[in-house]
Structure 1
Amino acid sequence: MSLSSFRPTSAHGATWWHRLFGLTLLAVCSGQCLAQSREARTLHIAPVPAGSEDGSAWANAGSLNRLPEFIAKLAPGGSILLKADAGPYRVDRQISIRNGGSGGAQITIHGVDGNGNPANAEILGSRADPWQQGANPGSEVFRLQTGADYLGFKNISFRNTGDGCFRVAGSIRGLRIEDVSARNVRRFFEVNPSGAGQSARVDDLTIRRVAVRGYSKGAFRIRGDSSNVIMEDVIGDSERQDGDNFAIGVALEDTVHDVVLRHVTMMNSHDSTNEYWNGDGFTTERKVRNVSFEDTVASGSTDGGYDLKSSATTLRRPIADDNKRNYRIWGDTKIVECVSRSPHKRGGSGLQNHFWIAKGARADVSGCQIEDRDERTTAFEVEPGGSLVVQNSSIKTNPTGRLSLVREGGHLQITSGQ
């Protein structure tokens, strides 16, 4: 029986029928009405809010703290403009976001000038500048909780912020960060759960044309079961901020997998807080897999340029220069057409090397240029059970230096070099 043909026969029946009809309309409307309330449109945010502050125009611009509310109002495909020519946005606590767009129709948050042209909106935090150990570390800025899917951030600059200009605190997907810069941060990008027993991960992450200058803890740390990650045209330079243990340019941890780093440069990670000086350009941990480095550069770190424990790891045309250990390999790694120049130990224990191979690790190196003039360099250091095969590579080191140090049970093979 259809609702249209049903006729109540009593007052009680009429009441029941009206309730049923109302519930039916509510069920039909729940999806459609919500879509109608979330219209694809543009909202406005300025450093100083104005008018009604509902974001409908610059004359009614909302504050940055209303960003989560504005995202929730937008349908997929909408955008939020951050006015970039009206002074900085001052923040001293995180802004938690729990809504987003949808696949193929992200919501974009981007900086523009008053005429709508792309321009970097500056977000200014409370981190000490210049920062030193014990000084105010600053706060995170954007905390992305579960539900903050398919968001794009563009044309934003951060200054003097803490552990995460972007912090992924839940499980999200479809995040884009492009044409963004940061200066003097504890860490630029972080994946770190919010609350005990919670998990955090990001699937389908793209980071392009990003520059991070001045960091103490790291530029990027990606954790959890994050996957399908592309980083391209990215630079990080710690500018030798010291005093935050284990400074790392790009860190891949937990079970992160399927990652491509292309034209990514990490420089000057510095850490002298322990007897063994840490500080790495790139690191991958043991359960990380399927990582591809393409035309990347690691230089000036107080420990490893590339400190890699992951499986199924390939480096194509990497450059390592001026690190204590240019390539520090703990897993199974293939390195093709690399450059290794001038290892440099700045302090702490350990030797300076072109290649250091851990116990049980294997590295296959081919078509590389290996060169330096320092007599203190041990070019190839292989721990027990480790294996290093170097093929078709040019090796030009100081003749009074030590070419290799292969401990008992280790294996070094050098063939067809110049």
Structure 2
Amino acid sequence: MIRNPRFVLGLVVLGLSTSTSWAADYWISPGGSGSMDGSSEANALPSSAMETVLNTTMGAGDTLYVLSGDYGATQMRIESDGTVSQPKRIVGVDIGGGVPHFSGNGVWKRSEPESGQWRIIILDGSHWEIENLELSGVRQAISNEEGDFASHIRFRDLHVHDVRYGIYLSDMDDSTFENVAVTHYTKHGFRLEKGCDNIVFQSCLADMTRGDHSWWEHSELYPFGFVSYGRSAGNTNVSYIDCVSKNNRKNLQARSYWNGDGFVIEGDTTGVSFQNCIALNNEDAGFDVKADVSIENCVSFQNFRGYRIWGTGTIYNSVAGFPFRRANHVPNGVETTGGSGVWTKNGTATVDYFTFYGNKGRGAHEEGSGSITLTNSILAFSGAEGQFTVGSISLSTGTVTYRPGSGTAPDFVDADPNWDGIGSHMNSQTYGESKGYFQGTVGVQFDPAQVDGYGSQSQSGSTVTVGSSGTALTLAGNIWRKYPFSYDVTSSTVLEVTVSASDVGEILAVGLDDDNDFDDTKSNFQLGGSQPNTDNFYPVTPDYSPVSGAVTYRIPVGSYFTGSRNYLTFVADDDADASANVTFSGIQVFESPDFSLAGFSDYSIQSGAGNVSLESGNTAVHLTGNLWQKFPFNYTFTPATVVEVTIDAIDAGEVLGIGFDSDNSYSNASTTFRLGGSQSPPSRFIVLSPSYTDGEGAVTYVIPVGEYISGPKAYVTFVADDDDDSSVDATFADLRIYEKN
């Protein structure tokens, strides 16, 4: 199993609008405009027509465009159906006044959370898509009533805030929430009450405070970010992917046990899984699960207990750290001796590749008659305080413990209690992927049986080892090796490899060769060694030194040679004493345009004022203003083509996108992917979720482009559209195109 693919936030690729050419479009605004017949933006319906247009006027496949403005207490009561192939759609459109806002009747307030308007969106229908809206100022922003039933509903790009509950639903099936953020709530962010089956939460956020801790003075007992109850009718098959739940607390609870959890699953829910989820700074547990559960690639920091497993649970490649507790006698909270990384009471937890680290607390705590088994895991403390285990705990194969003076230091990259859960902070530099939690780059997966000799250069007694994850190859002694890898090198081909060595020997090198003879063609790149400038090797800088630790090299292979290659090659040459010891890991071969400013030109006659610049050794494209640009790049897309790009935008403008085209028109084919922006994109754009948010920092998107684009393309295209004020400031970095598998 590959742990932690190369993306920060999860990605769901949403196809084109399923509305067909005969489906109708309608427009609505708070007060209406023009003839108010809904036929266009200029003739928008008034908000008083909302219920009629949704349930009477609109047919299957139709779209209602909700224009900028404050809709106050207007409700969207859905009591009609679309179809599988033609869902009905509600799409918010920012026409310059912001995302359309349904703000309630003005009565609700956090000091009286049961006051004011009840609901905004009320569901009793099927096959709807609802996107790009702001909801606030009510008890339950999205909800339904007893006896209502909803199915096949897709919510996307919603911001819900200043509510008692963000989502409070029963009897809803086969539905998804994508990039839905609930902030400033007094009780629960997302609540599934009963009878909900096949529900997916993708890239959703529950953050009670959003930086304003005064919300803890108004929160109610049992504040939760996400909760699934299943009361009277169980919830089944609930998945949480790339979700974040944080700051669920309540001040001065006046009870001995202060509660407040990130993710809560009660016992009447079945089929539960968490992937790539993060729980931070919650009163009690990060994950409190009373059902059987699978937890993978998750983070739980500064909660009292990281993972509370009441039934049967498996935890894989996850981390917990720095238990923190507030109570009546310590209302401001302290790091606690009673908190734990993994906890169970009469349950059974199987834990693999897990890390716990803290100044105090318990790595694993079994309280009752259950059991916890840890394999390939790290339990570590910063000092003398803390207990590795309490109760019936089995530290099985590969598990290690550490505190200063006892054991081997795991040497975490940056063990910071205020970590946001993103990145490689809790990777162990000592153990890498072999023990504990690890978040990193996926590379070539080596089959040990296919690693073979290269160039008849190896000395007997030398060894080759493939790491437990399959992505690292260690050569020791005096040894040359090749590995089957067919690739047609073009002028845009890049080879990336991470090197770590205790002894570089005489020649440290990596390459791509077409046969077993290193000397007939120049195919290898020398990264270091005591014999520099070796004949038939291309020198690469900087020269590797063992004191450098792990160093990643990005080698523009296509600048040196092109053509068909059959092998990856690895050299740890050391004729003198056969003492070289080198690990090659994270190996990727991909295409990346060789950007130059002279190659950029306007795309689709859409550009306004702005500027293009190149950064990071010409691997990052920085756009400002209001620009659509294209750059020559020839690639033939197949169903297996994948594109990675890292976005960092201070201002994403109205539409932020990337694409691949064969001409200068975006509108004659669907070739552009919308990554973010305040407006809904042009109709031929393919929309990705989660949508990038201004200022959130570097986010890497992994896009299965081959599912949408096929055949040869001549350009890579960049869209930084901002007609309103030309204030886009966005960087597209580390663009990679490759074939999966």
Q: TM-score when scaled to structure 1?
A: 0.79
Give yes or no for contact 1:127–1:185 (8 Å, CA) kept in 2: no
Contact 2:114 2:139 in 1 (8 A): no
Query: In structure 2, what residue type is equivalent to 1:355?
Result: V
Give 2:228's aligned amino acid. Answer: L
Partner of 1:301: 282
Within 5 Å, which residues of 2 pair with 1:235-254? 235-239=205-209, 240=213, 241-242=215-216, 243-254=219-230
1:64 alignment partner in structure 2 = 47
Alignment partner of 1:339 out of 308, 319, 330: 319
Q: Deviations over 1:365-386 (max 9, x none)?
A: 1101110113xx2333222212
Quick one: which of 380, 384, 391 aligns to 1:399? Answer: 384
Q: Are 1:151 and 2:151 counterparts?
A: no
Percent identity, aligned pairs only, is 22
Contact 2:105–2:137 (Cα < 8 Å) also in 1: yes
Aligned to 1:122: 101
- 1:90: which partner in 2? 72
The partner residue of 1:107 within 77, 88, 95 is: 88
1:125 Cα deviation after fit: 2.3
What's the CA shift string for 1:286-308, capped at 9, x where partnerless? 12111111110011100110000
Name the residue aligned to 1:14. none
Shift of 1:97: 2.2
Instruction: Note the residue ranges of structure 1 that are not aligned, 5 or more in a row.
Output: 1-38, 192-199
As a proportion of its length, which structure holds more strand? 2
Q: In the TM superposition, what is the alpha-carbon distance from 1:55 to its structure 2 partner?
A: 2.3
Correspondence for 1:357: 344
**Compared CA separation, residues 399 and 126, structure 1 to 2 (3 A):** farther
Which amino acid in structure 2 is aligned with residue 361 of structure 1? G
Q: Name the SS for the 1:204 alignment partner.
A: strand
**Aligned-pair RMSD on alpha carbons?**
2.4
SS of aligned partner of 2:325: coil
Counterpart of 2:260, as a letter, is G
Q: Distance in 2 between matches of 1:347 and 1:104?
A: 53
Displacement of 1:68 in angstroms is: 2.3
- TM superposition shift of 1:126: 4.6
Asked if structure 2 preserves the Cα contact closer than 8 Å seen for 1:214 and 1:237, the reply is: yes
Corresponding residue SS for 1:69: helix
Shift of 1:388: 1.1
Structure 1 residue 67: deviation in Å?
Answer: 2.2
Deviation at 1:113, TM superposition (A): 3.6
Which is greater in Rg? 2
Cα contact 1:71–1:100 (8 A) shared by 2: no
* Partner SS, residue 75 of structure 1: coil
Deviations 1:87-110 (A, max 9, x none): 31111x754321131112111101
Listed as ranges, the gaps of 5+ residues in structure 2 are: 1-21, 330-335, 401-741
| Corresponding residue SS for 2:194 | coil
1:340-360 deviations in whole A, cap 9, x for unaligned?
1111002259932222212x2
Matched residue pairs, number? 356
Question: What is the Cα deviation at residue 400 of structure 1?
Answer: 2.1
Is contact 1:131-1:137 (8 Å) kept?
Answer: no
- Could you tell me which residue of structure 1 aligns to residue 149 of structure 2? 171
After TM superposition, list the pairs within 5 Å mapping 1:250-399 onto structure 2.
250-254=226-230, 255-272=234-251, 273-275=253-255, 276-311=257-292, 313-348=293-328, 351-358=338-345, 360-374=346-360, 377-397=361-381, 398-399=383-384
Q: Deviations over 1:135-182 (max 9, x none)?
A: 84653211112xx1111111111233322x211332111101011112
Indicate how the Cα distance of structure 1 residues 53 and 363 shifts in structure 2: closer, same or farther if over 3 A, else same: same
Distance 1:354 1:323 in 2: 9
Q: 1:319-358: per-residue Cα shift (whole Å, max 9, x none)?
A: 0000111111111110001111111002259932222212
**SS class of match (2:49):** helix
The letter for the 1-side match of 2:168 is E
What's the counterpart of residue 188 of structure 2? Answer: 218
> Greater CA deviation, 45-54 or 130-139?
130-139
CA distance in 2, matches of 1:128, 1:396: 51
CA deviation after TM superposition for structure 1 residue 42, in Å: 1.4
Rate the CA distance shift 1:412–1:294 in 2: closer, same or farther, 3 A: same
| 3-state SS of 1:337 partner | strand
Between the aligned partners of 1:128 and 1:67, the Cα distance in structure 2 is 22
Corresponding letter in the other structure for 2:158: V
Question: Aligned partners of 1:65, 1:322: CA distance in 2, in Å?
Answer: 47
**Compared with structure 1, are the counterparts of its residues 380 and 113 closer, same or farther at alpha carbon in structure 2 (3 Å cutoff)?**
closer
**Paired residues of 1:212 and 1:237 also in contact (CA < 8 A):** yes
In 2, Cα distance between equivalents of 1:137 and 1:319: 37
Give the Cα separation in 2 of the matches to 1:338 and 1:50.
Answer: 53
Displacement of 1:265 after TM fit?
A: 0.6
Is the counterpart of residue 131 in structure 1 residue 114 in structure 2? no
Go from structure 1 to structure 2 and tell me whether the alpha carbon gap of 1:367 and 1:127 turns closer, same or farther (over 3 Å shift): farther
Task: State how far apart, in whole Å, the 2-side matches of 1:346 and 1:130 are.
Answer: 26
Check whether the contact 1:250–1:283 (CA below 8 A) recurs between aligned residues: yes
Question: Quick one: structure 1 residues 103 and 348, their matched pair in 2 at CA, closer, same or farther if it must change by over 3 Å?
Answer: farther
Rate the CA distance shift 1:137–1:324 in 2: closer, same or farther, 3 A.
farther
Q: Considering fraction of residues, name the structure with more helix.
A: 1
Cα distance, 1:155–1:309 mapped onto 2, change above 3 Å? same
Q: How far did 1:318 drift?
A: 0.7
Distance 1:284 1:135 in 2: 24
Contact 1:238 1:268 in 2 (8 A): yes
Which structure has more RCO (C-alpha within 8 Å, separation ≥ 6)? 2
In structure 2, how many angstroms separate the alpha carbons of the residues matched to 1:274 and 1:317? 35
Q: Secondary structure of 1:67's partner?
A: helix
1:68 touches 1:99 (CA, 8 Å); kept in 2? no
TM-score (norm 2): 0.46
Of stretches 126-135 and 314-323 in structure 1, the one that deviates more from structure 2 is 126-135
- Give the letter for the 1:297 counterpart: I
Higher deviation after alignment, 174-183 or 234-243 = 234-243
**Residues 133/65 of structure 1: CA separation in 2 closer, same or farther (3 Å cut):** same
**Matches of 2:29 and 2:62, distance apart in 1:** 17
- Match of 1:327, as an amino acid? Y
Q: Which amino acid aligns with 1:290?
A: G
> By how many angstroms is 1:44 displaced?
1.5
CA distance 1:75–1:133, change in 2 (3 Å): closer
- Are the aligned partners of 1:280 and 1:302 in contact in 2 as well (CA < 8 Å)? yes
